[in-house]
Amino acid sequence: MSVSTPTTLLDLPAPFRGHFIPVTTSTMDESKNHSGHGYAVMAGLQTQGRGTNTRAWSSIEGNLLVTFAMHPDKLGLEGLAHWRPLELLCGYVLSQVATQELSCLPNPPLLEFRPRNDLFVINPALDDNDSKKARKLAGVLVEPLQSDWRQGVAVGMGLNITSCPDDASMMEQVTYKKGYFATSLTAQGVVTDPELGDRFRLLREFCELFPIELAAMQVGGVAAIWQKMGLMDDAGNTVFAPRSGQADPIAGRFTGYDGDGDFRLSGHAASLRTADWRPVALRYWESLGFSILR
Is 293 within a domain? no
Distance CA 275, CA 286 (A): 24
Q: What is the tally of structural domains in the chain?
A: 2
pLDDT band at 242 (very low <50, low <70, confident <90, very high): confident
Residue 86 lies in a domain: yes
- Which of 201, 220, 239 is where one domain is finished? 220
Query: Does residue 173 register a pLDDT over 70?
Result: no
Identity of the residue numbered 68: F
User: How much is the pLDDT for 179?
Assistant: 46
pLDDT at 53 over 60: no
**Domain housing 200:** 8-220
Instruction: Name, in order, each residue with C-beta under 8 angstroms of 1's C-beta and a sequence gap of 6 or more.
Output: 24, 25, 29, 30
pTM attached to this predicted model: 0.87
**How many other β-carbons are positioned within 10 Å of the β-carbon of residue 155?**
23
Residue 1 belongs to some domain of the structure: no
